[in-house]
Structure 1
Amino acid sequence: GFFDRLLFLLHILLLGEIRKTTHGTEIINGKKVPDRLMLYVASVQNNKGQHMCGGFLISEDFVVTAAHCDKLVVLGTHNLEKVDDGTMRYNVTRCKHPDFNSVASGNDIMLLKLSKKVQLNNKVQPIQIPKGEMKVKDKAKCRVVGWGYTRAGGKVSNVLEMAEVTLTNRKECKTKWKSLKLDLPNNVICAGGHNAKAGFCKGDSGGPLVCGATAAGIVSFNRECDPNIPNVYTDVSKYVSWIKKIQAVIHLHFHKCS
């Protein structure tokens, strides 16, 4: 209603800094993910076991996340209150993209090599990534997944949620971000804008943008939950050869990225 719109407007005005970007995903207008679906989603956590980012399993021992994320991985649960440290928590070797400097400049992708292979079962399964560079279709419907906040100013949800988002034309996305004095980096996919009702906000970068049965994007950044500015995802298809190279190198050099 009117009061909600007024609060939202005040919130935007109070944010001040026009170039401020928010890392992560707060799944807004999402719905709970059934336990038997999306068994590839990982929680990337800090040393205290606090959820910091999302991620997704692409093989028995590799998880993909955003480059600015943390270093412990939890797999095999949709409920972060139900984590068995002995069987669900993994130490990792972090392989950040070498050209990553900041989310605003792109290359926001990191490969995490798990300390031991995951037991694939009815709780954990990998998701496929693109086989090579691919062009996503404008206006395609995809899903974003995460444990992020469920509303601005809220707190991290312990329950995994997903929301449907619509992909946005790159040219239009570039123009919208240009108006905020930010040049859109290369190798990204945009979704939302146009007063989108669902999407991500903050608290959970690194989670997957799922198009069909493929992890097409990685949640990277957005504009303080503004529904008119498209959310930005790293385009996984542009990094397939880098992912394959790191997977090969790390097996040869025993947990060293290069």
Structure 2
Amino acid sequence: MFSATRESTVVLGTNDRRKVNETMRYNVEKCKHPGFINVSSGNDIMMLKLSRPTTIQPIRLPNKRTQRIKDDAACFVAGWGDTCRRARGSQLREVDVSTINRKTCEKAWRNKLPANIICAGGYRTKKGFCQGDSGGPLECNKMAVGIASFNNHTCRYPDVPNVYTDIAKFLPWINNPKRKCKND
């Protein structure tokens, strides 16, 4: 069950913000996970229900066979956010990142992290996501496995790994037609 918290729109079908027309714009209803409190406590996931059908092919999600992503898996993250060199641009950017072992991730963060996350990029590398990329996909094996959640807020690498919501941990909620939503 979705419930609109406020009027929102998304754009589908372009990777250049300068090339948007009204047929690409969709109104959406938002459904925030009922367990969401803040990004660092986990459950940082939201479903969007489009106002009309689309012909855009969605990316695959994990399934029971593909739920476990191995450490040091080759992946990439995409987003519209800032880079270390400049502010947001009009072009969608992507960068390759590798997944990071959970113990290594927690040690680098000097903190226990939520159970439903994946760490990738931003640690011992100059690659990762930045402000404005939150909600973007972590793609591994042509599958969306994570959602950009939080990093160190400065985008200066290589201090701590980037943290993503682990989509596989939320499949029961995603696939439940009677899912509960948190209203803002």
Could you state the TM-score of these two structures normalised by the residue count of structure 1? 0.63
Alignment match, 1:62: none
Of the candidates 74, 97, 100, which is equivalent to residue 165 of structure 1? 97
CA drift at 1:83: 0.9
Alignment match, 1:142: 75
Aligned pairs for 1:120-159 (under 5 A) are: 120=55, 124-132=56-64, 134-151=67-84, 154-159=86-91
Alignment match, 2:141: 212
**Aligned counterparts of 1:108 and 1:82: Cα–Cα separation in 2:** 30
Which secondary structure state, in structure 2, belongs to the residue aligned with residue 249 of structure 1? Answer: coil
Of the candidates 120, 126, 137, which is equivalent to residue 191 of structure 1? 120
- 1:2-49 deviation digits (Å, cap 9, x = unpaired): xxxxxxxxxxxxxxxxxxxxxxxxxxxxxxxxxxxxxxxxxxxxxxxx
Alignment match, 2:32: 96
Instruction: Quote the sequence identity (%).
Output: 51
Contact (CA 8 Å) 2:33, 2:181: kept in 1 or not? no
Contact (CA 8 Å) 1:192, 1:228: kept in 2 or not? no
**Aligned counterparts of 1:193 and 1:213: Cα–Cα separation in 2:** 21
Which secondary structure state, in structure 1, belongs to the residue aligned with residue 147 of structure 2? Answer: strand
Contact (CA 8 Å) 2:26, 2:52: kept in 1 or not? yes
Alignment match, 2:4: none
Alignment match, 2:170: 239
How many residue pairs get matched? 173
CA drift at 1:183: 2.8
CA drift at 1:203: 1.3
For 2:67, the aligned partner's letter is: M
For 1:78, the aligned partner's letter is: N
Unaligned ranges ≥5, structure 1: 1-69, 251-255
Alignment match, 1:57: none
Contact (CA 8 Å) 2:78, 2:133: kept in 1 or not? no
Contact (CA 8 Å) 1:222, 1:232: kept in 2 or not? yes
Q: Which has the larger radius of gyration?
A: 1
For 2:118, the aligned partner's letter is: I
CA drift at 1:228: 2.3
For 1:228, the aligned partner's letter is: D
Q: Does 1:109 align with 2:45?
A: yes
The structure-2 alpha-carbon separation of the partners of 1:76 and 1:144, relative to structure 1 and needing over 3 Å to count, comes to: same
Contact (CA 8 Å) 1:150, 1:157: kept in 2 or not? no
Aligned pairs for 1:31-110 (under 5 A) are: 71-85=8-22, 87-110=23-46
- 1:191-241 deviation digits (Å, cap 9, x = unpaired): 124421211121120010000110000000001223220000000000011
For 1:75, the aligned partner's letter is: L
Alignment match, 1:229: 160
Structure 1 residue ranges, 4+ long, deviating more than 4 angstroms after superposition: none
Higher helix residue share: 1
Unaligned ranges ≥5, structure 2: 1-6
Alignment match, 2:109: 177
Which secondary structure state, in structure 1, belongs to the residue aligned with residue 178 of structure 2? Answer: helix
